[in-house]
Amino acid sequence: MKKVILKVKLSSRDKFEQKLSDIDLDFSGVYWQHDRIYVPRDYKKNSNYPRLIMRTEMRAVDKPPKYTLILRRHIEDSGVDIVEETAIKDYENTVNIILQLGFKPDSEVSRRRQDIKMDENNIIYLDKIETLPGYFAKIESNLTADDSIAEAKLDLENTFKTLGESNFVNSPYAEL
């Protein structure tokens, strides 16, 4: 699936949430995610190489965690992310397969997250990264074959600007 993703460092979490609440959008409850990021052995930044992410997600303490393998490839020239997700039942075996395929551990990111599904193609996330100060908001927009990448990016920028945010962040959380 093709996605355009735009992220900002929030100037004020409370003001951001209030602006969304004023237009009848409220975040879900808080849940926890932990990503272990694997890269090819010859990985170079800004080279369109794929990354594999093993995600552990806990929505409630009385339920088992959910494991997902995510293939993410950021296409630098266009700013589009190609993302495929697969549910995993056996975490350890999947990690062994990743390592045998020639990927190596690169970084880890833990976050507390909330989300708002704006419509079928757009989700806003509110993230608190354990190793970083402040809060971040991210909009992921799924693209269809007819969508213009430039228009989609502009729409996301305008959405954040309408909500009073313009401190755009282009790096993944693991690189901040």
**10-residue stretch averages of pLDDT, the chain, 176 residues long:** 95 95 94 97 84 96 96 85 96 97 96 95 96 97 90 94 95 90
pLDDT at 166: 95
Cβ pair 95, 105 in contact under 8 A:
no
Check the CA dihedral 94-176-170-157 and report its sign: positive
Q: In terms of residue numbers, what domain contains 100?
A: 2-175
Number of domains in the chain: 1
pLDDT at 47: 78
CA 146, CA 17: separation in Å to the nearest integer? 32
Chain centroid to CA 58: how far?
16
Widest Cα–Cα separation across the chain: 50
Long-range CB contacts for residues 44-53, cutoff 8 Å, separation at least 24: 45/175, 46/76, 47/76, 48/73, 48/74, 48/75, 48/76, 49/73, 51/106, 52/98, 52/103
Cα three-residue angle 98-103-105, rounded to 5 degrees: 95
CATH number at residue 92: 2.40.320.10
pLDDT at 76: 75
Model pTM score: 0.91
